[in-house]
Amino acid sequence: MGQALCCVKVEESTVAITETYGKFKDVLKPGCHCLPWCFGRQIAGKLSLRVQQQHVRCETKTKDNLFVNVVASIQYRASAERASDAFYELSNTRTQIQSYVFDVIRASVPKLELDSLFEQKNEIARAVEEELGKAMSNYGFEIVQTLIVDIEPDEHLKRAMNMKRAAEEDAEAKYLSGVGIARQCRAIVDGLRDSVQAFSDKVPGTTSRDVMDMVLVTQYIDTMKEIGASSKSNSGFIPHGPDTLRDIASQIRNGLLQANSTE
């Protein structure tokens, strides 16, 4: 009915491109228009003025020879003032945008190492937006915003980074475990030293060394008894004369003094 009455309707945020006998005539803005088709006037097509978004995934290599996938999000729209250029100049707008994004990213990322790439993604986004804006303005499009939404390392690189992180965590855990054991040993040494000092203070004429020798000899005798009482132990002869006990006590005492000197 609208065509019969030569009336056409153009929706909001849309413009219509009209032709007369195949030649561009005018751009119709939103609303109702009279289009005398009997004189060769017709609508060649409609163009949306809404903001559109396109995600572009580009694989490239960093300065330290690591492959990454950079994902850029491009927001763009056709310019109402240059609607005819936007309609006639490009046959595939999305392919054209992708080509320019590839060109800028593959020129920028190889100049940066992986760590710097994450830190400077905003600078890369600005470079893409600036270059893309200049190029697409010639075709009647304006770039609203450009974002680098993701940087994905190659799968082999991800696996290597995860293995490295796991090794670092394991080494840290072992280090902390060693520190804990060292602290426990130091606490035992401190407790033993305090006990020896307290005993020597209570018994007149007894030095700390005498008490330490007595404790060490007692521990040695208890260990010998446990070995002899074990049903799974093999019989053996261990020298345990006075000189041997004195030598064992001296060795243990020296070990305790060395541990104390490292505090």
Could you tell me what percent of the chain has a pLDDT over 90?
33
> Across the chain, what does the average pLDDT equal?
77
Residue 103 has pLDDT above 80, yes or no: yes
Q: What is the mean pLDDT of residues 55-71?
A: 90
**Rg of the chain (C-alpha set):** 42
pLDDT digits (tens, 9 = 90+) for 178-195: 666 667 656 665 665 666
Q: What predicted TM-score, i.e. pTM, was given to this entire model?
A: 0.58
- Domains along the chain? 7-48 (no CATH), 52-153 (3.30.479.30), 160-261 (no CATH)
Q: What is the pLDDT of residue 2?
A: 46
Provide the H-helix boundaries in the chain.
83-88, 93-108, 114-119, 121-137, 155-202, 208-229, 242-261
Coil, strand, or helix at residue 32?
strand
Q: Which residue has the tokens 């005539």?
A: 25
Could you tell me what percent of the chain has a pLDDT over 70?
57
pLDDT digits (tens, 9 = 90+) for 223-235: 665 666 655 555 5
Apex 79 CA angle, 77 and 83, nearest 5? 115
The phi, psi pair for 16, rounded to 5°, reads -115, 135
What's 233's DSSP letter?
A: P
Q: What is the pLDDT of residue 56?
A: 94
